[in-house]
Each structure stands twice: as C-alpha cells, then as structure tokens.
Amino acid sequence: MKKIAMFGICGKMGTSMVKELLKEKDMEVICGFDKLNVENDIKIFNRYEDVRNLNPDLIIDFTNVEAASETITWALNEGIDIIVGTTGFKKDELVKIEERANKSRSKVFIVPNFSIGAVLMIKISQMIAKYFDGCEIIELHHDKKKDAPSGTSIFTAQQISQTKEFNSVRLKDGETETVGGSRGAFSDGIHIHSVRLPGFLAHQNVIFGTCGQTLSIKHDSIDRSSFYPGLLLAVRKINKMPNYSYGLDKILDL
C-alpha cells in the first residue's frame, strides 16, 4: 500500500485528483498539505513536520512553483519521492533540482502535463517538424492560471527544436511589432501565444506552415479527469524510475 500526501489538496487539481485516488485499492491518501483547510475527511496540514510524522511514501504536488520548489527540497532531504504537476519552473531551476535529486535517495518526477493526449500531440509534432518551414504554438488556459506561457507549450517547443530549429531570433530581419509583444513569447526557435480566459481549461494548438499548406495538431483537455490516467501511471511507475525525470513521455511506450 503506497501512502500518499497530496500538496495543494484544496485546489481544483488537488481536489479532483484525490477524489480519483481514493478509489484505488493499492494506495492511500494519508494527508493533505495546503494553506487553506476546507472541510474534508482527509487530515490537512500546513507544516512539513506534521506530514513527516505520518511517514508518506510519496508526495504529489499541485501548488505553485515557489511552494513546489521548497517542497522538493524538503522531500529530498527527507528521502521522500515526489511527483510534481506544478508548472512554471525555469531551465536553471530544473538543472538545480536535477543535481540535488541525483545526489539524494529520493525520486523527483516533474510532469508539466499529465494528459496522455497532450504527450502524443508533442510526439507527433516532433515527427512533423522536419517537413515544414515554420511553427507557432497557441496555448489557451483558464484565467486563473498563474504562469505564461504554459509548461506544456515550453516543453513542446523544446522537443520540436530537437528535430528542427525554425528561428534563431524572435523577430526576423525587417519584422517589427506595432504593439510590443505582438509576436508572442519565444522559446527554442518557436513563437508561443498565450490566451487566458474563463471557460477554458487546458488547450494547445501547434501550427505548422510551408509552401501552400498548413497543418495543425490540437489537443483539448475539457475536464480535469483527463489528467488522472497519466497521474496514476506516474504513481505506479515511480519506484522504477531514475532519481530525476521530466515529462510524462518518460513512462509511455512511444
């Protein structure tokens, strides 16, 4: 029986994922961790010491990048494995986390998107890239999302750039922006455009263009239940993973 502590348990993702985890026979959510403390049958703490006393096997984190960074450090010091669904980490932060994880006895698995469909979208985009001359990403999320661009869109750009780098600079020779930022963010040779509106959950459109044609690969998460199969897979496979991993693709047979 794997004992799980859910960090960010009072948030929308934490609440949704716990509801599903409670149905599993081979794992137990022993406590939550949150600055809020809504009515819940699960013990909810806001001090690490209280979590330590229950001796969890695994932490699942759906908080924010600042809180998650602190929790990762604590989990590594305590020898507790951690799966992180929080996004917004910068490249240098991930490098430091990997260095610390490789010196520890804990496993850190950072997953910018638990949707298996999103992972397939990224993999297909990598395959397509070599046949087109341009690529841009439009990502759309709910208006409460704190970070932009999304972790998924940044990861998509990174993965595509391993096949082909489309642009070496954000603005081409002679290209100007009438309004600053009109061409969007720029990551790994790809422009990323972020939309934040009520009504959306998590959506991404990868658009490729070449002479006389375009090709779009679109993925939509219309309900948070779309993330659960990927999370469950991560929980069940983390014991066999290296000390540091990034991206759900690491545990899919692609």
Span 6-28, average pLDDT? 94
Q: What share of the chain is helix, strand, coil (3-state, %, to 5)?
A: 35, 25, 40
- CB 107, CB 60: distance < 8 Å: no
Higher pLDDT, 254 or 149: 149
Specify the 3-state DSSP secondary structure of 78: helix
Q: What is the mean pLDDT of the chain?
A: 94
Position of tokens 């869109």? 153
How confident is the model over 160-179, as pLDDT tens digits?
999 999 999 999 999 999 99
pLDDT over threshold 70, residue 247:
yes
How confident is the model over 89-137, as pLDDT tens digits?
988 999 999 999 999 999 999 998 999 999 999 999 999 999 999 999 9
What the block records as the tokens of 216 is: 């779009």
How confident is the model over 23-34, as pLDDT tens digits?
999 999 999 999
Domains of the chain: 2-110+224-251 (3.40.50.720), 116-221 (3.30.360.10)
- Count Cβ atoms within 10 A of the Cβ of residue 199 and give its class: 0-12 exposed, 13-18 middle, 19 or more buried: exposed
> Global pTM?
0.87
Q: How many angstroms separate the CA atoms of 52 and 34, rounded?
A: 15
253 pLDDT band (50/70/90 cuts)? confident
Catalytically active residues are: 141, 145
Interior angle at CA 209, CA 207 and CA 210, nearest 5? 165
